[in-house]
Amino acid sequence: MTTAAVHASSQLDASDRADLRPLRSLANIRPDEVACIEGILFGMLRDLCYGLHLEEGDCVRCRRTSRTTVILEVADGRRVVLDQDWARFISIGRCDPAKRGRRGRCDGQVRGVA
């Protein structure tokens, strides 16, 4: 890292540092983990997810993973199966009521979640 880069990174305030947190992929979700869909990288993938009623801002619980698929449970109790190759292009984060999706889903309210 150059001296200029070190100096620039030391000038970041706390809110800027929060934006630099590492991204997590849905492909790396663990069974029983609850997460918020933060971003869907490609339009074609966004269309596929929309057809499955899965959108940015939705809160999901991982039911099972394998080498080839991720099985998610969404807020209304439905199960959604995604190919791992697609899941790697979907970013996830913690469920947070302040980051509600269009349908108001990212509030930690997945069936069975306290």
User: Domain ranges in the chain?
Assistant: 22-114
pTM of the model: 0.69
DSSP the chain: --HHHHHHHHT--HHHHHHTSPPEEGGGPPTT-EEEEEEE--HHHHHHHHHTT--TT-EEEEEEE-SSEEEEEETTS-EEEEEHHHHTTEEEE---GGG--TTS-TTT--TT--
Give the mean model confidence (pLDDT) for residues 88-96. 89
Q: Residue 82: is its pLDDT beyond 90?
A: yes
Q: Average pLDDT for residues 58-75, to the nearest whole number?
A: 94
pLDDT, average across residues 82-92 = 96
Mean pLDDT of all residues in the chain?
A: 78
What topology does CATH give the domain 22-114? SH3 type barrels. (2.30.30)
Instruction: Say if residue 93's pLDDT is above 50.
Output: yes
